[in-house]
Amino acid sequence: MEIMLSGISPMQIGGAVTDFRRAWLIKTSSDLLHKLLTGRPQTETGRFFIIRIARFQRDKMLRFFVKIIFLLAALVFIIMKNQGGDRRVFSKQQAEEPAHQSEISFFDGKYQDLLNSYSLRQPGDQWRLAPSHNSKNLVKLDITHASGKYGLQVRVYDNSGQDFAEFVKGYIAAFQKDMDNPEIIDQKDFAGDGVVGTAISFDGQQRNGYFLKSYVFPGQKFFYAIQGGCPFADKDILEPDLDEIAASFKPL
């Protein structure tokens, strides 16, 4: 005999619970798959449609359908996660490469600074290059021998349309003022890589016992001064090394 509770039979209550459980499972799995595929929450209309269909299915078919949805959802999640990782790596490489290429590079035995429009040959293993291409100071590159006895600096000056010969005169005057007025012991034309500039040698013994030499070159965007130095006593031995590095300089 069927017992009634407030006008509702146990069978009716059990059916309602089953319907609610079935609808909840369908709603949850459907929402998950829809969000993974579209990136947006599912609408109430979509949920209602799926729930209405589910109410006409048996429990066995429901469980099978839910398993399929969860399986598909997991598969889509794994694929999208892997693809997302690949995109992040690719984007990072694309962001880094142009930045690297637009500033400095070491390639085929050459150091190249596109930001300041010049290149030069990389010296041997005993030399250390310290770029400062983004610096607001004039010095854009330090080239130092491992012995610490000698080296060079690349300095970059704006070319504001000034005549190169006038720039050289102004450079010499400023250099002598900054370096306690060293005597000029030689000045002559000097060939770089596809460019002819001027090399000026100074006697810096009174200041620091050094032989000082500047290689000044013209360029389309900038004027350049490579300032080199070594102990004056080692001038005859070390000056050719400075000359060799400066001779590889090329405005771009």
Q: What is the pLDDT of residues 177-192, one digit of tens each?
A: 999 999 999 999 999 9
> Is residue 90 domain-shared with residue 142, that is, in the same domain?
no
Domain span at residue 187 reads 104-251
Asked whether residue 5 is assigned to any structural domain, the reply reads no
Tell me if residue 216 falls in helix, strand or coil.
strand
**End-of-domain residue from the set 99, 129, 149:** 99
> Is residue 94 domain-shared with residue 108, that is, in the same domain?
no
pLDDT at 171: 98
> Is residue 94 domain-shared with residue 121, that is, in the same domain?
no
Asked whether residue 3 is assigned to any structural domain, the reply reads no
> Is residue 94 domain-shared with residue 111, that is, in the same domain?
no
> Is residue 87 domain-shared with residue 127, that is, in the same domain?
no
Q: Encoding tokens for residue 55?
A: 């109410």
- For the chain, the farthest-separated pair of C-alpha atoms sits apart, in whole angstroms, at 125
**End-of-domain residue from the set 50, 76, 99:** 99
pLDDT in tens, 81-136: 555 444 333 333 333 334 444 588 988 889 999 999 999 998 988 999 999 999 99
> Is residue 60 domain-shared with residue 182, that is, in the same domain?
no
CB-based contact 227:214 (threshold 8 Å): yes
Among residues 157, 152, 164, the alpha carbon closest in space to that of 196 is found at 164
pLDDT at 179: 93
pLDDT in tens, 148-188: 999 999 999 999 889 999 999 999 999 999 999 999 999 99
pTM exceeds 0.75: no
> Is residue 94 domain-shared with residue 119, that is, in the same domain?
no
Domain tally for the chain? 2
What's the Rg (C-alpha) of the chain? 38
> Is residue 181 domain-shared with residue 241, that is, in the same domain?
yes
H or E element that contains 196? strand 196-204
